Structures are given as C-alpha cells and as structure tokens.
C-alpha cells in the first residue's frame, strides 16, 4: 500500500492544545495554496487529551477519506503513538527537513507528526512541503514497509 498524495482529497489535520496555534496557521497555509483541509480539532488552546484528536484524524486517512494526515502536539510523540495504533497508518515524527524527507522516501509515511514546542512554524511548513512532494523510493524499502503491519 503505497501512499501517493491525492490533491482531490482533503488533507486531515488534528492537534492538541500545544499544537493549536500551528494547526491554525498550517490550515491557512494549505488553503491559501488551494488544498482542501479537514480539521479534526482541537479548536482552542484549552487543555485536551491528544488521542481524542489523533484517532479521528488517523481514521480519516486509514479509511481513504483523506489523502494524508498532519498531527501536532507539544513533542509529537503522543499523537504519533496514537496514530500508529491504526493498522494502515505510518505516522512519522519529524523535527527537521531530512527526517521529513526520509519518512516519505524510506518509510512511505502517510501522516506527518510535528512537535510544535520544538520547531519553528517556518520549519513546520518546510517539512510539510517536503512531505507532500516526496515520493516513496520503494526498492529495498518496500519489503521493510511491508513488514510493519501486525495483520
């Protein structure tokens, strides 16, 4: 199952309170570029539990409603762990451009997880651009990716 960005489908996005500011900015950044975005919340900076937003966002990618997903929280670990509980999700935690590139090239990630407390908004946008425009390399990586799912 190779992920290929389909611009005809919306991009799913979700966050907790720590990612709210960046999520709001990224939604605008994406819509200004002409992309559709499905926002799964949260919708304020009030404290919330990240799985409540990570799971619906991941489900929309897993069931094909969204082309790919973006998750944000303070460290991005919580949302990544939650999203990766879904069998058809490969969520990669990205904190620099090279990592965003490799989670696509080598891991065929279909969700990018961004640590809002540890990267600038400009870097988040750069990583997202790389994630959206980088293709899965396949080859030796395809066999490895094929071994990820438990079922």
Query: Measured on CA atoms in the order 102, 134, 148, 91, is the torsion positive or negative?
Result: positive
Question: Does 1 have pLDDT greater than 60?
Answer: no
Q: Is the pLDDT of residue 88 over 70?
A: yes
Residue 2: pLDDT band (50, 70, 90) is low
Average pLDDT over residues 57-83: 98
Which sequence positions are flagged as catalytic? 73, 106
Q: Are 53 and 148 in contact (CB under 8 A)?
A: no
Helices 20-32/121-133 angle, 10° precision: 50
């Amino acid at each position: 199952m190779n992920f290929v960005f389909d611009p005809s489908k919306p991009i799913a996005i979700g966050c907790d309170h720590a990612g709210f500011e960046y999520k709001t900015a990224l939604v605008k950044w994406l819509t200004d570029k002409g992309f559709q975005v499905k926002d799964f919340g949260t919708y304020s900076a009030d404290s919330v539990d990240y799985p409540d937003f990570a799971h619906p966002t991941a489900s929309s990618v897993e069931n094909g409603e969204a082309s790919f997903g973006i998750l944000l929280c303070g460290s991005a670990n919580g949302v990544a762990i939650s999203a990766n509980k879904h069998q058809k999700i490969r969520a990669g935690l990205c904190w620099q451009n090279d990592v965003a590139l490799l989670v696509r090239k080598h891991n065929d990630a279909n969700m990018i997880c961004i640590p809002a407390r540890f990267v600038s908004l400009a870097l988040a946008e750069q990583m997202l651009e790389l994630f959206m425009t980088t293709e899965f390399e396949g080859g030796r990586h395809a066999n490895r990716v094929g071994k990820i799912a438990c079922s």
